[in-house]
Structure 1
Amino acid sequence: MARPAPETHGEILAAAARRFGVTGYKGTSLQDIAREVGCSKATVLYHFANKEALLGELMAPAIAVLEALDERIAGHTGADLQRVAADGFVDLAVRFRREIALLGGEFPDLLQQPAFAHIQQISERLIDAFAGHSDRPAARIAAFVVLAGIAEACAEFVDFPDEELRPALLAVAHRALEPTT
């Protein structure tokens, strides 16, 4: 049996990203991806154990940056914590906005998959950082809205230039977050 061409791996990833963006993760089958690439489902499974592994590889760079941000915010407190968290998350969301867009409204369901379960804890720590470790409901609500709003805005404005999107998101985030005392 001839080995698949080396470029097939990348072609499968690109096709999966396109299909997930159009029909969603749940609405896309491995057969759909294979058809778009022009290969068999067996070829897709040669490169990826399953659809979850495909999504995992697509999201791996963004997850690595999110994990690094989680480590970075651990050493900060107060207003510095809020600034580092907001700046870091905006940078991440702008850089990976195409990945955010392809997940669309399926993000809560994807967090149930074992490969993504730790992202829920990181999200909770980000909300805590955005709230400046405050237990006040208003601070926590603002933190949640800002975090979700940044992600949604990046998905919506996927074609905006970085140099316009980033400062706009930062301005909104810094205005919306309650200062810590």
Structure 2
Amino acid sequence: MARSSSGLRERLLASALRLFVQHGYRGTSLADIAADVGCSKASLLYHFSNKKMLLAELLLPASWEASKLIARLEHLDGRAAAVAATGGFADLSLRFRREIKLLFDNLGDLASLPELGVEGVEDIGEQLIDAMAGRSAEPDARVAALMALSGIFLTSAAELPYDDETLREAMTAAALRTLGRTGA
């Protein structure tokens, strides 16, 4: 009995993300994804013209949310920018932890990410570093911001035995210590 095409696109995306995380981007074929969902490869290709477009579609929501975070940080500076950027990036990282794990585990295979049509991705990291540094150009502040950003990114990709709230609090506190932004 054939499954309804209703929701097929969403099922394909969910399957692709799960399989990409489990087997890697390169280790997962379009045929694997179609078989997992129970549809033909032709049906998959009706929705996504190729594997890169499927990947781009998976990463777009995280990119959009990161852009919204950058917009919220735009008018903040100093401690306010650092605290808001740290908490906002921790929330974003936990919400999209499977996508981050996919990125982290497949960095070599995904080197062409800007070519996927995910606009402005390369600038988001710089803008977050700038906000976490409190808009300071000082090397100590910029290096600490890069360390805090990287730490949140890596921690969210790890498989730790903590619930999201515990993990968010710990990541945020550690990042703020790294930034020298503890206390009031």
Normalised-by-shorter TM-score class: 0.7 to 0.9
Distance 1:89 1:110 in 2: 23
Equivalent residue number for residue 173 of structure 2: 171
Distance 2:148 2:113 in 1: 20
Distance 1:144 1:34 in 2: 39
- Counterpart code for 2:78: G
Distance 2:25 2:160 in 1: 19
- Counterpart code for 2:35: R
Distance 2:33 2:24 in 1: 12
Structure 1 unaligned runs (5+)?
A: none
Moved more, 31-40 or 163-172: 31-40
Match of 1:115 among 114, 117, 139: 117
The CA deviation string for residues 54-97 of structure 1, in whole angstroms up to 9 with x for no partner, is 22222222222111001011110111111111111111111221
Equivalent residue number for residue 102 of structure 1: 102
Superposition deviation, residue 12 in structure 1: 1.2
How many positions carry a matched residue from both structures? 178
Is the alpha carbon distance of 1:6 and 1:158 closer, same or farther for their aligned partners in structure 2, counting shifts above 3 Å? farther
Structure 2 unaligned runs (5+)?
A: none
Matches within 5 A, 1:36-47: 36-47=36-47
% identical aligned pairs: 44
Moved more, 170-179 or 2-11: 2-11
- Counterpart code for 2:79: A
Is 1:152 matched up with 2:154?
yes
- Counterpart code for 1:131: A
The CA deviation string for residues 92-151 of structure 1, in whole angstroms up to 9 with x for no partner, is 111221221222233461533242341111111111111122222222221111111101
Is 1:135 matched up with 2:167?
no
Distance 2:164 2:111 in 1: 29
TM-score calculated relative to the size of structure 1: 0.87
Superposition deviation, residue 158 in structure 1: 6.0
- Counterpart code for 2:39: C
Equivalent residue number for residue 53 of structure 2: 53
TM-score calculated relative to the size of structure 2: 0.86
